[in-house]
């Protein structure tokens, strides 16, 4: 949604937020015996459960102080998604800064540290790479898409060095952030590079469901409906990656542009997409990785021509957990490769809770050591073992499995006819309201016969603002809105109207600037899309509950600057969250705390930018 380099600050297992009004300041405690104590303050709730990946859903006990408590485990050190279920409604931990980016469900992240600090994803005192959030215009999509780019620690040190590229896709309902904020690809690779165990490389994290960003189109006569005017029979992700994203990456970064220096892979749906794209484009990719997935068994010229296929693939790596609901399908695909004489490396786990990001991180650590290292990859391929024998008890993925894991959700917010409708499915709730920074007081939602509460608003339809639901007194982020405000405490949802003047789809095929997050300085900085040397510095100071992401994800600061610059209405300038002065630049300061809401902050920034011309 925004373009910037972002370095995540980790709170480990102790999730706290000093700005919360609650008495409780610490919501999770990692005990010496490996168990974890969860706490949630809500004196008005009638029933509270905690749902965590290593233990499932368990009841919590209410204390006299209104704090609900449960101790679960023991569990192995790792990162685990979790949430509280309050009177039937899932709620993110309001005291935990880390969260799971997703199109649908909203989970917080529990981090159980290893005593030795030996986990692959640990944030160690080693040189860290940079992470850039990018926008690029996709001709195949006829719209703007998102991706994230990891650059190795020494990328800026040698301006002449070029790097191989690994395209890494997340799973169903995941956003492009998940392999970063949950999969920790940047930190895993930082550690391996520092230890000399992995090659320096660029990693690109595409958004695997780009049609969600575009408006739906009606079904053509006699054909399939699609998004943004595209038929569903076309491989829109493959076309976007090979036809548009690759072009953007190779024109904006120092890359080695041949098949020997490109890899592609992913987790779950992303693994299916990655393998499919890679096998159909062996002239572009020679390293293929599948984590908890499989792909089509009918690809012309691939499985029926083993000698040619094997000669083109340096690494064909597949991993899956034996307790994964996709294990049967993945095992069958591995056997399919064996029967057709296609070489591959196979890895199985038995203790990482099946189809989870614990497995995804483990597999990533294994393969990053082999990518773009022909000697290591060839050794692994030579030692590849046959697929496990069929037992007849393997789990198989079915339509029923899909329906259970990804039930049909309500649409919220929904923009139509100059109105916006907010909805939440809470059949057991007695009272539901909506709070917003643009509402003087909460508005009531009305319950439908299907248990879905809704409210339709006609004001502020074209704006961007923070909001949440209040379900029987409990604040809840909108479960079906993929945009979350990066607040320090409770994470509000963002109503991001597609009709607002700074929506990326309205901006279209323009040059976007970059906003970088510096790991060492802990400072965000926007650089305009121009070769001219900026002479103006604008300091954007976050509010007390904001993070450095806020001015960009909620404030649209970079998009405002991009639009006005393209229109010739402002001068190239640098936007930064730093308070440090630069004597060579004319400096202005905007403090978030001086304005009531993000609408006023955006207007103040726009006014300032217009005054520069």
- Is 70 exceeded by the pLDDT of residue 274? yes
Q: Is the pLDDT of residue 468 over 70?
A: yes
545-593: pLDDT as tens digits: 999 889 999 999 999 999 999 999 999 999 999 999 888 899 999 999 9
**pLDDT by residue (tens digit) across 174-222?**
999 999 999 999 999 999 999 999 999 999 999 999 888 876 554 333 3
pLDDT band per the 50, 70, 90 thresholds, residue 230: very low
407 or 200, greater pLDDT: 200
What is the pTM (predicted TM-score) of this model? 0.92
pLDDT at 476 over 50: yes
Average pLDDT (481-503) is 93
Contacting residues for 82 by C-beta, under 8 A, at least 6 apart? 38, 50, 51, 52, 53, 93, 107, 108, 109, 110
- Please provide the average confidence, as pLDDT, over all residues in the chain: 90
Q: Which residues contact 374 (CB under 8 A, 6 or more apart)?
A: 260, 314
pLDDT (mean) for 381-386:
96
Query: For every residue of 398-437, which 3-state class applies, written as one string?
Result: CHHHHHHHCCCCCCCCEEECCEEEEEEECCCCCCEEEEEC
Give me the mean pLDDT over the 525-551 stretch.
91
Q: Retrieve residue 359's tokens.
A: 């497995």
For residue 241, the model assigns a pLDDT of 97
pLDDT in tens, 129-187: 988 889 999 999 999 999 999 999 999 999 999 999 999 999 999 999 999 999 999 99
8 A C-beta contact, residue 202 and residue 166: yes
Question: pLDDT tens, 281-301?
Answer: 999 999 999 999 999 999 999
More confident: 406 or 506: 506
Adjacent-strand bridge partners of 457: 420
In whole angstroms, what is the distance from residue 610 CA to residue 363 CA? 50
| Band of residue 3 on the pLDDT scale cut at 50, 70, 90 | very low
Provide mean pLDDT across the span 497-519: 87
- CA torsion 189→194→198→200, rounded to 10°? 80
Q: What is the pLDDT of residues 96-132, one digit of tens each?
A: 999 999 998 899 999 999 987 789 999 999 999 988 8
Cβ–Cβ under 8 Å, residues 272 and 251: no
More confident residue, 465 or 232: 465
pLDDT of 215? 64
Alpha-carbon span 270 to 358, nearest angstrom? 16
* Percent of the chain whose pLDDT exceeds 70: 93
Instruction: Write out pLDDT tens, residues 261-271.
Output: 999 999 999 99
Q: What is the pLDDT of residue 216?
A: 57
Distances (CA, A) of 547 to 9, 421, 489, 551: 10, 28, 10, 8
Cα 219 vs. chain centroid, distance in angstroms?
A: 30
CA dihedral 518, 521, 527, 531 (to 10 degrees): -100
- Structural domains in the chain, CATH included, are 28-112 (2.60.40.10), 130-382 (3.40.50.1820), 414-496 (2.60.40.10), 510-611 (no CATH)
Q: What's the CA dihedral at 508, 513, 518, 524 to 10 degrees?
A: -80
Sheet holding 28-30, edge to edge: 28-30, 36-41, 67-72, 61-62
Dihedral pair phi/psi, residue 176, rounded to 5°: -65, -15
Confidence of residue 22 (pLDDT cuts 50, 70, 90): low
Helix or strand (DSSP H, E) at 83: strand 78-86
Check residue 227 and give its pLDDT.
Answer: 35
pLDDT at 409: 81
What is the DSSP secondary structure assignment for residue 486, as one 8-state letter? -
pLDDT of residue 19: 34
> What is the token pair recorded at 185?
């690809």
Give the pLDDT confidence score for residue 221 in this predicted structure.
39
């Amino acid at each position: 949604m925004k373009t910037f380099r972002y370095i995540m600050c980790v709170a480990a297992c102790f999730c706290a937020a000093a700005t919360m009004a609650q008495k409780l300041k610490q919501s999770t405690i990692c005990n010496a015996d490996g168990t974890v104590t969860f706490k949630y303050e809500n004196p008005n709730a009638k029933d509270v459960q905690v749902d965590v990946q290593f233990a499932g859903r368990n009841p919590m006990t209410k204390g006299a102080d209104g704090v609900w408590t449960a101790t679960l485990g023991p569990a192995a050190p790792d990162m685990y998604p979790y949430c509280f279920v309050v009177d039937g409604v899932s709620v993110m931990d309001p005291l935990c800064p880390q969260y799971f980016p997703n199109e649908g469900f909203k989970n917080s992240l529990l981090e159980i540290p290893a005593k030795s600090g030996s986990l692959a994803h640990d944030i160690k005192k080693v040189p860290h790479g940079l992470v850039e959030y990018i926008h690029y215009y996709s001709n195949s999509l006829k719209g703007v898409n998102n991706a994230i780019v990891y650059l190795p620690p020494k990328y800026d040190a040698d301006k002449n060095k070029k790097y191989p590229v690994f395209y890494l896709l997340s799973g169903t309902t995941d956003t492009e952030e998940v392999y970063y904020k949950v999969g920790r690809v940047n930190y895993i690779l930082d550690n391996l590079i520092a230890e000399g165990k992995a090659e320096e490389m660029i990693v690109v994290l595409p958004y695997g469901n780009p049609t969600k960003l575009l408006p739906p189109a009606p079904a053509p006569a006699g054909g399939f409906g699609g998004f943004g005017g595209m038929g569903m029979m076309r491989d829109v992700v493959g076309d976007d990656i090979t036809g548009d994203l690759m072009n953007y990456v190779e024109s904006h970064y120092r890359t080695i542009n041949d098949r020997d220096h490109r890899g592609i892979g992913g987790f779950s749906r992303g693994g299916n997409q990655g393998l499919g794209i890679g096998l159909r484009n062996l002239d572009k990719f020679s390293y293929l990785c599948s984590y908890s997935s499989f792909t089509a068994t009918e690809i012309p010229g691939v499985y029926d021509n083993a000698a040619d296929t094997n000669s083109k693939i340096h690494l064909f790596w597949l991993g899956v957990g034996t307790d994964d609901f996709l294990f049967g399908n993945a095992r069958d695909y591995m056997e399919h490769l064996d029967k057709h004489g296609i070489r591959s490396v196979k890895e199985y786990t038995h203790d990482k809770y099946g189809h989870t990001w614990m497995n995804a991180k483990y597999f990533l650590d294994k393969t990053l050591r082999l990518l773009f290292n022909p000697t290591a990859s060839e050794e692994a391929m030579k030692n590849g073992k046959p697929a496990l024998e069929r037992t007849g008890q393997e789990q198989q993925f079915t339509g029923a499995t899909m329906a259970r894991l990804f039930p049909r959700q309500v649409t919220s917010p929904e923009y139509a006819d100059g109105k916006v409708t907010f909805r939440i499915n809470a059949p057991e709730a007695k009272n539901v309201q909506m709070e917003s920074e643009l509402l003087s007081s909460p508005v009531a939602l009305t319950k439908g016969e299907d248990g879905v509460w809704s409210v339709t608003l006609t004001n502020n339809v074209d704006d961007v603002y923070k909001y949440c639901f209040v379900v029987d007194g409990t604040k809840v982020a909108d479960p079906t809105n993929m945009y979350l405000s990066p607040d320090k405490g409770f994470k509000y949802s963002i109503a991001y109207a597609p009709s607002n003047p700074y929506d990326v789809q309205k901006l279209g095929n323009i040059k976007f600037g970059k906003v970088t997050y510096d790991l060492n300085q802990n400072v965000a900085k926007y650089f305009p899309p121009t070769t001219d040397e900026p002479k103006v510095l604008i300091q954007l100071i976050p509010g007390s509950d904001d993070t450095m992401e806020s001015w960009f994800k909620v404030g649209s600061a970079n998009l405002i600057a991009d639009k006005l610059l393209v229109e010739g209405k402002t001068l190239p300038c640098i936007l930064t969250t730093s308070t440090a002065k630069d004597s060579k630049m004319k400096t202005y300061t905007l403090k978030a705390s001086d304005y009531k809401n993000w609408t006023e902050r955006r207007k103040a920034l726009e006014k300032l930018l217009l005054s520069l011309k």
